[in-house]
């Protein structure tokens, strides 16, 4: 029979086997010696006090003290008053130098017009820390259990009120499921639809083909593209696909920026009713609008046919990994079942913190501040393009924090992106968002969420001649 001791700080395990015939002291000395020789115990790491180790292993304290004394005499250990017994310098083999790694992260650019990323430096850290402290202070002990897989009842109540107030949604807390961002929300939805017999899902093209295709493949569904024009998704083309589910961004189409027109909205809802289909609404940046009237959530027009997915990835930060699904009543149980099987529920403390942030008014205050910030960057982008590339047409600026620059038909999108990168300016082509990867018609998707107004101006100035040649 053997006793074991685990020291988490040095990741060491000792086993004492009373049936082996080897003296107990010798066993302890040998195992500590081997741990030091092999580097499992490093220089300066502290061994447990003799009384504690003796009690854990069922040995006498004198035996452990004798073993320590022997290792001290051999130079493996060193003991100092007030510092305990530690591994002596020179007792371990020298560490193997790590292999050089390539620098992590993105290269430093004069301006990086990557889209889909908010201003990460503007995250309201002080407000978030306040909200986390308040949530931790108020949360009962029972709140630390697994809880409802739909998520915190408090956050669902707050989200329902917020969605009704801001997005004109038909939100019921009982039919809301908290998720870990858009990717999980989409995966859960498609998995639930697959259980109901859906076999094909359509998506916008251009759009987010990689994310939709990945979620569809995981659910065993076929994903088919449907073209988008200046009024949004072509519903006639959608009907021809035979799909019984579709993923759309009606408030501000990703990435073209067009709004799904009223006629198209009604046609899309009629399509869903006629084909017993479900619309998956990605309501991803509806909070940020500038010079157009607000557009309510599609879910508010057909709550029985629309799953609306929202997150705080654009309004706060992607790293929070918090989102929610407004579910049709008939699909809610299936979504909850999939969520339960997926992860037993999202982190509760963060949910309560977000609920507190919204209820306190701090969330709305942050959004107002960011609207002003993004509007200033939008103005800077338009001014810089007007000065350095006046022939380039820009669309999609009515909301969100990205724009689409239209180049002349003969422009080489990829060559322009490469040339700009050589000047330390990050540009991104529309081909990245097309299912086929086609570079025609040539377009640029210019994100200004995470690039300051001065950097916007400097970046466009640095590539002005390139844009004039291609614009």
Phi and psi at residue 405, in whole multiples of 5°?
-100, 125
Within-domain flag for 158:
yes
Please say which residue of 340, 360, 380 terminates a domain.
Answer: 360
Say what the pLDDT of residue 96 is.
67
Please say which residue of 331, 360, 389 terminates a domain.
Answer: 360
CATH code at position 9:
1.10.10.10
Say what the pLDDT of residue 81 is.
81
Say what the pLDDT of residue 319 is.
96
Are 189 and 218 in the same domain? yes
Pairing label, strands 402-406, 77-80: unpaired
Domain count for the chain, please give it.
Answer: 3
Are 344 and 407 in the same domain? no
Are 257 and 310 in the same domain? yes
Within-domain flag for 78:
yes
Are 331 and 399 in the same domain? no
Residue 22, Ramachandran bin (φ over 0: left; ψ between -120 and 50: alpha; else beta): beta
Are 81 and 130 in the same domain? no
Please say which residue of 360, 392, 417 terminates a domain.
Answer: 360
Class of residue 296 by CB neighbours under 10 A (exposed 0-12, middle 13-18, buried 19+): middle
Contacts of 200 (CB under 8 A, 6+ apart): 221, 222, 223, 224, 241, 242, 243, 244, 245
Are 413 and 344 in the same domain? no
Are 436 and 324 in the same domain? no
Could you state, in chain order, the average pLDDT of each consecutive group of 10 residues for the chain (471 residues)? 49 78 93 89 88 88 94 92 86 70 71 96 98 96 93 97 94 97 97 97 97 97 97 96 97 92 96 98 83 83 97 96 97 97 94 98 96 96 96 91 95 96 97 96 96 97 94 70
Of 324, 348, 351, 355, give the one whose Cα is nearest residue 178.
324
Within-domain flag for 104:
no
Are 392 and 446 in the same domain? yes
Within-domain flag for 105:
no
Within-domain flag for 27:
yes
Residues in the chain: 471
Are 173 and 291 in the same domain? yes
CATH code at position 310:
3.40.640.10
Within-domain flag for 414:
yes
Within-domain flag for 95:
no
Of 358, 311, 306, give the one whose Cα is nearest residue 184.
311
Class of residue 347 by CB neighbours under 10 A (exposed 0-12, middle 13-18, buried 19+): middle
Are 331 and 281 in the same domain? yes
The domain of 439 spans 111-116+365-470
Say what the pLDDT of residue 285 is.
75
Model-level pTM greater than 0.75? yes
Class of residue 231 by CB neighbours under 10 A (exposed 0-12, middle 13-18, buried 19+): middle
CATH code at position 430:
3.90.1150.10
Say what the pLDDT of residue 286 is.
74
> Between the CA atoms of 418, 419, 425 and 428, what dihedral angle is there, to the nearest 10 degrees?
-40
Place of tokens 């569904």: 221
Are 154 and 268 in the same domain? yes
On whether the CB atoms of residues 156 and 176 are closer than 8 A, the answer is yes
Within-domain flag for 249:
yes
Are 347 and 450 in the same domain? no
Say what the pLDDT of residue 117 is.
94
């Amino acid at each position: 029979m053997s006793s074991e001791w685990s020291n988490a700080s040095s990741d060491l395990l000792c086993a004492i086997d009373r049936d082996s015939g080897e003296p107990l002291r010798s066993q302890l000395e040998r195992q500590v010696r081997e741990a030091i020789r092999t580097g499992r115990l490093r220089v300066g790491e502290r061994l447990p006090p003799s009384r504690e180790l003796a009690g854990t292993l069922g040995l006498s304290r004198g035996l452990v003290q004798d073993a320590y004394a022997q290792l001290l005499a051999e130079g493996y250990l060193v003991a100092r008053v007030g510092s305990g017994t530690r591994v002596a310098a020179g007792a371990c083999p020298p560490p193997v130098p790590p292999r050089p790694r390539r620098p992590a992260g993105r290269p430093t650019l004069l301006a990086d017009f990557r889209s889909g990323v908010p201003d990460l430096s503007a995250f309201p850290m002080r407000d978030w820390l306040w909200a986390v402290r308040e949530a931790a202070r108020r949360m009962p002990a029972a709140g630390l259990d697994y809880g409802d897989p739909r998520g915190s009842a408090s956050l669902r109540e707050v989200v329902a009120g917020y969605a009704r107030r801001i997005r004109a949604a038909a939100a019921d807390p009982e039919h809301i499921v908290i998720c870990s961002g858009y990717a999980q929300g989409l995966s859960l939805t498609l998995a639930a639809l697959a259980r109901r017999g859906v076999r094909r899902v359509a998506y916008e093209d251009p759009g987010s083909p990689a994310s939709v295709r990945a979620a569809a493949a995981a659910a065993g569904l076929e994903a088919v593209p449907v073209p988008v024009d200046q009024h949004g998704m072509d519903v006639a083309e959608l009907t021809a696909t035979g799909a019984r589910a579709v993923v759309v961004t009606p408030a501000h189409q990703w990435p073209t920026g067009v709004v799904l027109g009223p006629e198209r909205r009604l046609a899309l809802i009629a399509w869903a009713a006629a084909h017993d289909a479900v619309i998956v609404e990605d309501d991803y940046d509806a909070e940020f609008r500038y010079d157009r009237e607000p557009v309510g959530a599609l879910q508010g027009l057909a709550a029985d046919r629309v799953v609306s997915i929202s997150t705080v990835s654009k309004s706060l930060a992607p790293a929070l990994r918090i989102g929610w699904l407004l579910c049709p009543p008939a699909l809610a149980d299936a979504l909850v079942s999939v969520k339960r099987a997926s992860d037993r529920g999202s982190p509760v403390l963060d949910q309560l913190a977000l609920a507190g942030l919204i209820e306190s008014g701090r969330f709305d205050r942050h959004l107002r501040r960011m609207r002003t910030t993004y509007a200033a960057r939008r103005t800077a982008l338009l001014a810089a393009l007007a000065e350095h590339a006046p022939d380039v047409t820009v669309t999609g600026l009515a909301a969100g924090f990205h724009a689409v620059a239209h180049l002349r038909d003969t422009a080489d999108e990829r060559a322009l992106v490469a040339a700009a990168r050589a000047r330390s300016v990050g540009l991104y082509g529309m081909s990245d968002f097309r299912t086929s990867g086609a570079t025609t018609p040539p377009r640029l998707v210019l994100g200004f969420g995470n690039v300051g107004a001065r950097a916007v101006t400097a970046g466009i100035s640095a590539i002005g001649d390139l844009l004039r040649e291609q614009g």
